[in-house]
Amino acid sequence: MKKLAIKLALLPFAVPLMLLGASTYAFAGEDVEVSVSLDYVSEYVFRGTTLAGDAIQPGIEVAFGNFTTGAWYSTPVDDPTNAYADELDLYASYSFDVSDAVSADLGILLYHYPQSGGLFDIGTGVGDASTVEIYGSLGFAGPLEPSISVYYDLTLKALTLEGGAGYSFPLAEKTSLDLGATAGIVSLEGPGDYQYGSASASLNYAVSEAVSTYVGVNAAVSSEDTFQRLSNFTPKSSSLWFGAGISAGF
């Protein structure tokens, strides 16, 4: 989910994530929730930066107790000739309640670009294909469910502070309109710092208790020309893109 100098580095934030369907199983005394998802986005944007054009993005996540682990992949529909076209993210996190109104999440992520090298070729040099990031976030109870997160890429030495909020409007028994907003500050070692903000709206439909779908639209702005019009490779400071997807539990 990131490229800084070439990519900036979470958890994928390209379009509003659909509600994850899940079923539970007994696993070492804990309930295990398994979910899979498949998304399409007309532009792959991460933390205010265009990383690719339209892309297909499958994912799988397993949660047991307070632990969550998962894998997420992004592959462009039109495969560009660059070493960062495909991206694999592996992540693990631990969540817990700080109080009745505050929850916390601590995690680590590995961002890997398979076309560049091996999974554990971590670094920024020629032939390196992965970076590692750690993060912590706080979520607050309330109508808008505000949150604040801090990410630090240990490889790129990039610090991101991000805040967000959202609200879901029920439209029918199985349909809702979900709105979200995010703002962030990215600080790099050396030049290149920037700020970004985004807003999203998605229409969600619960096909069943285990399957849900969505279609959504996103708009974003940046203090720098971090977006790119891929048709003519023109840098720009704002962008608009669309997404759709389906998720299921099993």
Mind listing the pLDDT tens digit of every residue in the chain (250 residues)?
A: 544 333 333 333 333 333 333 334 444 556 899 999 999 999 999 999 999 889 999 999 999 999 999 999 999 997 655 656 799 999 999 999 999 999 999 999 999 999 888 888 898 876 789 999 999 999 999 989 999 999 999 999 999 999 999 999 999 999 999 999 999 999 998 888 999 999 999 999 999 999 999 999 999 999 999 998 877 778 999 999 999 999 999 8
Would strands 102-112 and 23-27 be described as parallel, antiparallel, or unpaired?
unpaired
Q: Kindly state whether residue 90 falls inside one of the protein's structural domains.
A: yes
Residue 129 belongs to domain with CATH number: 2.40.160.40
Q: Kindly state whether residue 45 falls inside one of the protein's structural domains.
A: yes
Q: Kindly state whether residue 58 falls inside one of the protein's structural domains.
A: yes
Give the pLDDT of residue 137: 98
The answer to whether the beta carbons of residues 77 and 84 sit under 8 Å apart is no
Give the pLDDT of residue 30: 65
- This prediction's pTM: 0.85
Give the pLDDT of residue 124: 81
In 3-state terms, what secondary structure has residue 232? Answer: coil
Q: Kindly state whether residue 14 falls inside one of the protein's structural domains.
A: no
Residues spanned by the domain of 213: 23-249
Give the pLDDT of residue 125: 77
Q: Kindly state whether residue 17 falls inside one of the protein's structural domains.
A: no
Q: Kindly state whether residue 153 falls inside one of the protein's structural domains.
A: yes
As for how many domains the chain has, the answer is 1
Give the pLDDT of residue 191: 85
Q: Kindly state whether residue 13 falls inside one of the protein's structural domains.
A: no
Determine the Cα–Cα distance for residues 35 and 15; give it in Å rounded to an integer.
18
Q: Kindly state whether residue 54 falls inside one of the protein's structural domains.
A: yes
Determine the Cα–Cα distance for residues 130 and 108; give it in Å rounded to an integer.
13
Determine the Cα–Cα distance for residues 91 and 216; give it in Å rounded to an integer.
25
